[in-house]
């Protein structure tokens, strides 16, 4: 049932909650946004997501949903306009595969491993680039990962790579996805910025660089 109040508990710098906002905006779903202060989580967040205590959490018609991939699928099935997941079963499964690859593999290599690599920084950069090259191949010849229009995988990759991890890399002085090596991904990033629903969900660049740099410092000194 598509009617009903939608609430989203999120955080401005979180790729996981920004991608959910992209989907809600693309589909034109009105929602109430509740910003969390992550170091001081609200009692509401702890009540709604007692297991992981993380954002995003979507609340709709008494349904409480954590986990961004599941939320995106729920939104797609509840509001059927502007579909974001492929209809074809194989394509749908592969979109989920690549989304998990980005949130697991690229996030781990391009963030934690890279930040911790002291002497082996160049090696860590190359390892991250090798993984990103799979995405370069995946988007080759297409406007978006989803084809002609923006979809589920675009939202996952966009929120995580150009609008989050790339800010960390920028702060570290690393040009991780140079145009000469990744022409297709750079073309895709340009296409993304033409979509209003995406543009409205890009965290402020300098603020994101500062946030990511602070997290990196904490990881290094842990």
Ligand X SMILES: N[C@@H](CCC(=O)N[C@@H](CS)C(=O)NCC(=O)O)C(=O)O
Closer CB to ligand X, 96 or 121, in the complex: 96
Closer CB to ligand X, 33 or 175, in the complex: 33
- Can residue 159 be called a binding residue for ligand X (CB under 6 A)? no
Number of amino acids touching ligand X (CB under 6 A) = 11
Closer CB to ligand X, 7 or 69, in the complex: 69
Tokens 């391009």 map to which residue? 110
Shortest distance (Å) from residue 9 CB to ligand X: 9
Note whether 131 and 111 are within 8 A (CB). no
Closer CB to ligand X, 107 or 172, in the complex: 107
Shortest distance (Å) from residue 143 CB to ligand X: 25
- Can residue 211 be called a binding residue for ligand X (CB under 6 A)? no
Shortest distance (Å) from residue 146 CB to ligand X: 19
Which DSSP category does 122 fall into?
A: H
- Calculate the dihedral angle through the C-alpha atoms of 133, 55, 18, 176, rounding to the nearest 10 degrees: -30
Closer CB to ligand X, 101 or 182, in the complex: 101
Note whether 2 and 26 are within 8 A (CB). no
Q: Select the residue interacting with ligand X from 6, 8, 9, 14 (CB under 6 A).
A: 14
Shortest distance (Å) from residue 112 CB to ligand X: 13
Binding mask 33-72 for ligand X (x = CB under 6 A): -----x--------------xxxx----------xxx---
Which DSSP category does 202 fall into?
A: P
Q: What residues does 145 pair with on adjacent strands?
A: none
Cβ partners under 8 Å of residue 24, min gap 6: 6, 8, 31, 75
- Calculate the dihedral angle through the C-alpha atoms of 11, 15, 21, 24, rounding to the nearest 10 degrees: -140
56: exposed, middle or buried (Cβ count in 10 Å: 0-12, 13-18, 19+): buried
Q: d(Cα 178, Cα 130) in Å, to the nearest integer?
A: 13
Shortest distance (Å) from residue 184 CB to ligand X: 25
Note whether 17 and 34 are within 8 A (CB). no
- Can residue 16 be called a binding residue for ligand X (CB under 6 A)? yes
- Can residue 11 be called a binding residue for ligand X (CB under 6 A)? yes
Binding site for ligand X (CB under 6 A): 11, 14, 16, 38, 53-56, 67-69
């Amino acid at each position: 049932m598509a009617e009903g109040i939608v609430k989203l508990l999120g955080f401005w710098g979180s790729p996981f909650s920004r991608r959910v906002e992209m989907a809600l905006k693309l589909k034109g779903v009105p929602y109430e946004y509740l910003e969390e202060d992550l170091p001081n989580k609200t009692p509401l967040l702890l009540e709604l997501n007692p297991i992981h205590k993380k954002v995003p959490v979507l609340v709709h018609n008494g349904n409480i949903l954590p986990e961004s991939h599941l939320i995106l699928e729920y939104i797609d099935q509840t509001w059927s306009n502007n579909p974001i997941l492929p209809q074809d079963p194989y394509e749908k499964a592969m979109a989920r595969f690549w989304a998990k690859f980005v949130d697991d593999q690229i996030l781990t290599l391009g963030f934690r491993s890279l930040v911790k690599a002291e002497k082996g920084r160049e090696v860590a950069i190359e390892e991250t680039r090798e993984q990103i090259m799979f995405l370069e191949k995946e988007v080759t010849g297409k406007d978006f990962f989803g084809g002609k229009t923006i979809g589920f995988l675009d939202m996952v990759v966009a929120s995580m790579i150009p609008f989050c991890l790339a800010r960390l890399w920028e702060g570290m002085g690393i040009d991780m996805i140079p145009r000469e090596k990744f022409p297709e991904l750079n073309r895709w990033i340009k296409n993304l910025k033409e979509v209003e629903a995406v543009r409205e969900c890009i965290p402020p660049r300098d603020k994101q660089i500062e946030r990511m740099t602070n997290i990196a410092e904490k990881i290094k000194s842990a």
